[in-house]
Chains A and B, each alone.
Chain A
Amino acid sequence: MILLSITENIHNWLFSIMPEGVASIVEMVLIAVVYLTIFAVAGLFLVLLERRVAAWFQLRIGPNRVGFQGLLQTMADAIKLLTKELTGTERADKFLYNLAPYFVIISALMALAVIPFTKEFHAFDINIGIFFLIAISSIGVIGILLGGWSSNNKFALIGAMRSGVQTISYELSVGLSLLTMVVITGTLQLSEIIEFQKNGWLIVQGHIPAIIAFMVFMISGTAETNRAPFDMVEAESELGAGFHTEYSGMKFAYFFLAEFINMFIIAAIATTMFFGGWLSPFGITESIPWLGVFWFLAKTMGLVFLMMWFRWTFPRLRVDQLLTLEWKYLLPINLVNMVVMALIVWLNLTIRF
Chain B
Amino acid sequence: MSYFSDIYKGIKTLLTGMSVTGKYFLTSRKGAITQQYPDNRDTLKMFDRFRGEVIMPHDENNEHRCTGCQKCEIACPNGTIEIIWDRGIDEVTGKKKKKIDQFVYHLSMCTMCGLCIDVCPTDAIEWGQNFENSVYDRSALTRVLNKPGSKLMPGVED
Q: A53: nearest residue on chain B (CB-CB)?
A: B25
- A312 lies within 8 A of chain B by Cβ: yes
With both chains docked as a complex, state the minimum distance between the C-beta of B46 and any C-beta of chain A, in angstroms.
Answer: 18
With A314-B14, A329-B7 known as contacts, the answer to whether A59 contacts B21 (CB < 8 A) is: no
With both chains docked as a complex, state the minimum distance between the C-beta of B22 and any C-beta of chain A, in angstroms.
Answer: 7
- The segment from B31-39, B74-82, B105-113, B128-136 found at the interface with A is B31-39
Q: How many Å lie between the Cα of A60 and that of B25 in the bound state?
A: 10
- B18 lies within 8 A of chain A by Cβ: yes
Is the pair B17, A313 in contact by a Cβ cutoff of 8 Å?
A: yes
- A13 lies within 8 A of chain B by Cβ: no
Interface residues on B, range: 10 to 19
With A309-B22, A329-B7 known as contacts, the answer to whether A60 contacts B17 (CB < 8 A) is: no
Binary contact track B22-47/A, C-beta < 8 Å → 1, others 0: 10110011011110100000000000
Is the pair B28, A56 in contact by a Cβ cutoff of 8 Å?
A: yes
Is the pair B32, A60 in contact by a Cβ cutoff of 8 Å?
A: yes
Q: How many Å lie between the Cα of A231 and that of B32 in the bound state?
A: 27
Is the pair B7, A61 in contact by a Cβ cutoff of 8 Å?
A: no
- A124 lies within 8 A of chain B by Cβ: no
With both chains docked as a complex, state the minimum distance between the C-beta of B3 and any C-beta of chain A, in angstroms.
Answer: 8
Q: How many Å lie between the Cα of A60 and that of B31 in the bound state?
A: 8
Q: How many Å lie between the Cα of A313 and that of B31 in the bound state?
A: 18
Q: How many Å lie between the Cα of A310 and that of B25 in the bound state?
A: 12
Is the pair B33, A60 in contact by a Cβ cutoff of 8 Å?
A: yes
**4 closest cross-chain pairs (CB), A and B:** A56-B28, A313-B21, A61-B34, A313-B17
Task: List chain B positions with a Cβ less than 8 A from chain A.
Answer: 6-7, 10, 14, 17-18, 20-22, 24-25, 28-29, 31-34, 36
Task: List chain A positions with a Cβ less than 8 A from chain B.
Answer: 53, 55-61, 309-310, 312-314, 329, 333
6 A-B contacts, Cβ less than 8 Å apart? A56-B28, A58-B24, A59-B32, A60-B28, A310-B18, A313-B17
11 A-B pairs besides A55-B28, A59-B28 with CB distance below 8 A are A57-B21, A57-B24, A57-B28, A59-B24, A59-B31, A60-B28, A61-B34, A310-B14, A310-B18, A313-B18, A329-B10
